[in-house]
């Protein structure tokens, strides 16, 4: 399931920021120590193990991959926009 997330101000996704807060982007040796979400949420695409994109989006507030998604107004709005189709 694709997730709507707020990137941290360091540019990394919240999945890089576990419960203790410190960013764990090993590739770029990020020095960010606290998850500071930017205001604007974005869609984080997910793929199956075969590299196929997963079009379904996890509704805001629901859990996916052992992590609760954000349910703020901005996320709700983005979800409505993305899941609402082209009508």
Residue 8 makes contact with Zn ion by CB under 5 A: yes
- Take residue 49 and report the two structure tokens written for it: 């193990």
CB of 17 within 8 A of CB of 24?
yes
Binding segment for Zn ion among 11-19, 42-50, 51-59, 78-86 (CB under 5 A)? 11-19
Fill in the DSSP letter of residue 39: S
Residue whose CB is less far from Zn ion, 54 or 68: 68
Q: What residues contact residue 12 under an 8 Å CB cut-off, 6+ apart?
A: 23, 25, 30, 32
Give the binding-site size for Zn ion (rule: CB under 5 A): 11
One symbol per residue from 28 to 67: x for binding Zn ion (CB under 5 A), - otherwise; what is it? --x-x--------x--------------------------
CA distances from 14 to 11, 49, 71, 87 (A): 9, 21, 14, 31
Binding segment for Zn ion among 47-55, 68-76, 79-87 (CB under 5 A)? 68-76
Give contact residues for Zn ion (rule: CB under 5 A).
8, 10, 12, 23, 25, 30, 32, 41, 70, 72, 75
């Amino acid at each position: 399931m694709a997730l709507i997330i707020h990137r941290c101000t360091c540019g990394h996704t919240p999945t890089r920021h576990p419960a203790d807060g410190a960013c764990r982007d090993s590739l770029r040796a990020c020095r960010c120590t606290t998850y500071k979400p930017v205001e604007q949420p974005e869609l984080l695409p997910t793929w199956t193990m075969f590299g196929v994109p997963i079009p379904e989006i996890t509704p805001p507030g629901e859990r996916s991959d052992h992590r609760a998604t954000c349910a703020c107004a901005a996320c709700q709005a983005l979800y409505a926009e993305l899941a609402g189709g082209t009508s």
